[in-house]
Amino acid sequence: MTADELKAALETLDVSPAAMARLLGVDVRTCRRWSSGAKPIPDTVATQIAAMVEAGGVTPQMTAEIQAAAIGDGQDVSRFLWVQVRDADPFWTVAEHDTVSDIYYLPGRLERYAADDLVLGPAVAAPAAPAPDEAE
* Segments making up each domain of the chain, as ranges: 3-70, 78-123
For range 55-65, the mean pLDDT: 73
**DSSP H stretches of helix in 1-136:** 3-13, 17-24, 28-36, 43-55, 60-70
Contact present, 111 and 83 (Cβ < 8 Å)? no
pTM: 0.48
Contact present, 103 and 92 (Cβ < 8 Å)? no
Q: Which of 90, 87, 88, 84 is nearest to 104 (CA)?
A: 84
Check whether 73 has a pLDDT greater than 50.
Answer: no
Would you give the DSSP letter of residue 30? H
- Round to whole Å and give the CA distance between 104 and 86: 13
- Round to whole Å and give the CA distance between 63 and 67: 6
In DSSP terms, 124 is beta-bridged to none
Most confident region among 34-38, 70-74, 123-127 by mean pLDDT:
34-38
- 67 vs 46: which has the higher pLDDT: 46
Structure confidence at residue 66 (pLDDT): 64
Mean pLDDT across the chain, nearest whole number?
81
Structure confidence at residue 4 (pLDDT): 93
Contact present, 78 and 97 (Cβ < 8 Å)? yes
- 77 vs 86: which has the higher pLDDT: 86
Give 23-56 pLDDT, tens digit per residue.
Answer: 877 778 888 889 899 888 888 888 888 888 888 8
Q: Classify residue 96 as exposed, middle or buried by CB count within 10 Å of its CB (0-12, 13-18, 19+).
A: middle
